[in-house]
Amino acid sequence: MALHYIDWLIIAAFLLLSLLIGLYFRGRASGSLERFFLGNRSMPWLVAGISMVATTFAADTPLAVTELVGQSGISGNWIWWSFLAGGMLTTFFFAKLWRRAGVLTEVELIELRYGGRAAAWLRGFKAVYLGLVMNVLVIAWVNLAMLTILIEFFSLELHMAYAALAGVMLLATAYTALSGIWGVAVSDVVQFVLAMFGSMALAWVVIRSPEVGGISGLKAQLPESTFHFLPSVASVDSGGGNKFAISVGAFFAYIGIQWWSSWYPGQEPGGGGYIAQRMMSTKTEKGAVYASLFFQVAHYCLRPWPWILVALCCLVLYPQLEGAELRAGYVRAMKDFLPTGLKGILLAAFLAAYLSTISTQLNWGAGYLVNDFWKRFAAPERSARYYVRASRVCTLLLMIAGLAVSTYITSISGVWQFILECGAGLGLVLILRWYWWRINAWSEIVATAAPFIGYSLAHFGLGWVFPNSFFFTVSFTTLAWIIATFITPPESDAVISTFVKRVRPQGRWPGLREGGGSQGPLIWLIVSWLAALAFTYGLLFLTGKVIFAEWNDAALCAVVVLFSALLLKLALRRSSIWE
């Protein structure tokens, strides 16, 4: 469809601003890999925290939430809401440790925590596996969302949509390669503000449309079970008129197991990926904690409701959409209901969300491939400028690979589920390696490989699907890495001593008189974690209850938020996490 020239001006101004930010911060990215990938560890915590939130606010996320709500109602979001427990674990138990470690990437930690050839092999493998394979998958599913927007909104042929997508990717590659993490993070702040404004504007316009009739009209036109915040637990085969019911097994998988057992980009148990990168970019250990805490609250409480409201409206407006097609409803709502000016703002907002995620994926993926593979194994002892140039070339190559793989992705939520199950069971090792001296390189090697075997056996051998396949994979992987841990020797005293002296993790480590235990009594960290969970879920539900004018429930949620905030403040004072 044709846009008004005002819409095009808004989009052009935003794209120009993104490029200018990259040019402005070009000088801060030169000189060393630490400057290029960590901003010389000088980033304010608020910038780092907003950058985390902006990265997870990709172009695919509103579309995927629309798909989830269409299939399972509001409670379908528990597939990702359940990760809050693992995210808060990172905030209170691991944020300071990542900052103390002094490594450039998550993968570099491997040769600090483990020693010998097994550690070197694991570092090289994970650099390629995470930096290339998983990174390209994430880029591809984000590209799929952007393609959906381009095709639905502009009625483009597929080849023209790919051409437009390639142009936008080139822009992200340009400012990412020029400015490194500083350009990415500052662009993220601008992009996040624009993306939030755009998504809220769309929700406001669509809710107030005559076809929907406001919140009361929306509630009158959809089944009451659509608005349940918690999933209805029942036998799915038993009927009962609730198409959004999930099995007891699925509920237990989401709430009890998934958050600590599964590796997932941006929600790695124990921290990792671009979340660890942002924490390591902050000025201080306290900054790392603040950045992570802000991310968890904003990620779960600030972002979701505008998307959910539009997704609910799409069920009324476009009842003919089913399955993977549900995600197109969000784009159709943009096309059908936004006036001139707001159309341009929301398209710029989607470009902002897309660029934020793509630039981060390109930046941290290049970090793994250059720092942990190319520099470590292929071209050691080169100049700092050589590695910065290599990082810029790698950024471009990752863009090309992501664009190519995009042609094979058909479902956003399908890729989510695949990655969750192929990382099932690894999470516990990523947590325990900070606390248990007996974890060694072979523990992590087996925990990384075993989920693929377990997933294949469950799906193709036994014919199981989620959640049975998930339980099998977690059990298979956990048993495999525990066996591997005890039939292989522990890490040497020298390796463990170096790790503990630098990181100072909680607990006592055999053979080290000083032990760990630098974060105060463990009980107060646990209380802080539980209070933060109650506060964030309470705030998430409070927002929803106010939106739907369910005032009695809103009052109860407000009490939970207030009490948990006071408890969190008390627990943080008793712990030494701010020291």
Q: Where residue 124 sits, what CATH number does that domain have?
A: 1.20.1730.10
Same domain, 529 and 404: no
Same domain, 542 and 403: no
pLDDT at 456 over 50: yes
Q: Is 428 a member of any domain?
A: no
Q: Roughly how many angstroms between the first and final C-alpha of the chain, as a whole number?
A: 57
CA 488 → CA 113, 210, 438, 440, 450, distances in Å? Answer: 16, 67, 10, 8, 17
H or E segment to which residue 265 belongs: none
User: Which residues span the domain enclosing 529?
Assistant: 520-579
Q: How confident is the model at residue 2 (pLDDT cuts 50, 70, 90)?
A: low
Which amino acid type is present at position 491?
A: E
How many domains are contained in the chain?
2
Q: Is 4 left (phi over 0), alpha (psi -120 to 50) or beta?
A: beta
* Listed residues 374, 409, 444: the one ending a domain: 409
Of 10-24, 108-122, 130-144, 563-577, the least confident: 10-24
Tell me, what DSSP letter sits at residue 114? S
Q: Is 53 a member of any domain?
A: yes
Name the pTM for this structure: 0.88
pLDDT on residue 515:
47
Of 4-13, 105-114, 150-159, 214-223, the least confident: 150-159
Q: Is 565 a member of any domain?
A: yes
Tell me, what DSSP letter sits at residue 231? P
pLDDT at 484 over 90: yes
Whose CA is closest to 537, among 81, 20, 58, 41?
81
pLDDT at 47 over 90: yes
* Listed residues 355, 388, 409: the one ending a domain: 409
pLDDT digits 0-9 by tens, 269-303: 888 888 888 999 999 999 999 999 999 999 999 88
Average pLDDT, the chain: 84
Same domain, 405 and 547: no
Q: Which whole number is the average pLDDT over 453-457? A: 90
pLDDT at 310 over 90: yes
pLDDT on residue 137:
84
CA 98 → CA 49, 94, 123, 279, 282, distances in Å? Answer: 15, 6, 17, 7, 11
pLDDT at 257 over 90: no
